[in-house]
Amino acid sequence: MRRRARPRAGLPPSACAAGLLAAALLVFAAPAAAQPFAERVKLCPACHGPTGQSSLPDTPSIGGQPSFFVVAQLFLFREGRRSNAAMTEAAKGLTNDDLRAFGEYVAKLPPPGPPADPPDPARFARGRALSRQHPCGVCHNPDFSGREQMPRLANQREDYLLKAMREYKSGARIGYAGAMATELQPFSDDDLRELAHYFSHLGSR
């Protein structure tokens, strides 16, 4: 199985996105403006998990994210300034009141816990050192719980953290205030991997 899968490693993300988009288009097939918040909010768990803790690769846990951050990201999706097929579809036609309602709803979901697998102690230590040299906690809070437009990093999925940081660093993702592209320039790709390992495993040992 693995021998067959490996050569196709470049394909899955796009296949995944296409599948998600098809699903999202079905889900959101009704005129967007006609769907009240109560209907739309039922769709979040399909990808982000029933309590906001995602078990889906490359898909973030959203529980416990600051409401401002959630509003800002949905705003960016709605305005076409952040790109993700499923979320772009999900954010179409959201009113400002909808954005506020989603922000409050998501912020009240419980924050994710650490993953089941223990951290690699050496990588965890390197990630921690990197996060202090370039003090991520200045903005994201010392416990990485996030505040205002800056997301919670603690116990976010490792793969998603790496994906997000790579997108910021390359400029593929701009973010709300535009700070992260600059902030991540000093880091190598290896640094980003160690940071992702550290943030995702906080509190797990």
Partner 1 sequence: MASSSSVSSTMLRRTLALCALVVFLGLVPLLAVAQQQAPPPPKEEEVPFWAVGRPKAGPGAQLAPVPPYPVPVAADKLPVAKIKVPPGFKVEVYVPEILDARGMRLGDKGTLFVSSNFVAGKIYAVVDTGGKREVKTIAEKLMLPNGIEFHKGSLYVATPKAITRYDDIENTLDKPKDPVLVYDKLPGVVPHGWKFIKIGPDGKLYLPVGAPCNICEPNSDEYAHIRRINLDGSGMEIVARGVRNTVGFDFHPKTGELWFTDNQRDWLTEDLPNDELNRLSKPGQQHFGYPYCHQGDLLDSEFGWGKTCAEYVRPVTLLGPHSAPLGMRFYTGKMFPEKYQGAIFVARHGPWNRSKKFAGDVVAVFLNANGTVKSVEPFMTGLVENNAYLGRPVDVLVMKDGSLLVSDDHAGAIYRISYSK
DSSP letters along the chain, please?
Answer: -HHHHGGGTTSHHHHHHHHHHHHHHHHT-S-GGGS-HHHHGGGHHHHH-TTS---STT----TT--HHHHHHHHHHHHTTSS--HHHHHHHTT--HHHHHHHHHHHHHSPPP---SSPPPHHHHHHHHHHHHHTTTHHHH-TTS--BTTBPP-TT--HHHHHHHHHHHHHTS---SSS-HHHHHTT--HHHHHHHHHHHHTTT--
- Contact between residue 202 and residue 161 where contact means Cβ atoms under 8 Å apart: no
Asked if 205 is part of the footprint of partner 1 (rule: CB under 8 A), the reply reads: no
Given candidates 93, 105, 115, 187, which one binds partner 1 under the rule CB under 8 A? 187
Asked if 178 is part of the footprint of partner 1 (rule: CB under 8 A), the reply reads: yes
Closest CB 35 distance from partner 1, rounded Å: 10
Given candidates 105, 159, 166, 204, which one binds partner 1 under the rule CB under 8 A? 159
Asked if 188 is part of the footprint of partner 1 (rule: CB under 8 A), the reply reads: yes
Asked if 83 is part of the footprint of partner 1 (rule: CB under 8 A), the reply reads: no
Closest CB 109 distance from partner 1, rounded Å: 19
Residues 121-150 that bind partner 1 (CB under 8 A): 122-123, 126, 129-130, 133-135, 138-139, 148-149
Residues 85-114 that bind partner 1 (CB under 8 A): 96-97, 99-100
How far apart are the C-alpha atoms of 1 and 141, rounded to whole Å? 43
Report which of 89, 96, 78, 73 is spatially closest to residue 173, judged by C-alpha positions: 73
Asked if 20 is part of the footprint of partner 1 (rule: CB under 8 A), the reply reads: yes
| 160 CB-side CA count, 13 A | 21
Closest CB 37 distance from partner 1, rounded Å: 14
Closest CB 99 distance from partner 1, rounded Å: 5
Closest CB 203 distance from partner 1, rounded Å: 21
Contact residues: partner 1, CB under 8 A = 1-2, 5-6, 8-9, 11-13, 15-16, 19-20, 22-23, 26-27, 29-30, 46-47, 55-58, 68, 71-72, 75-76, 79-81, 96-97, 99-100, 120, 122-123, 126, 129-130, 133-135, 138-139, 148-149, 159, 176-179, 182-183, 186-188, 190-191, 193-194
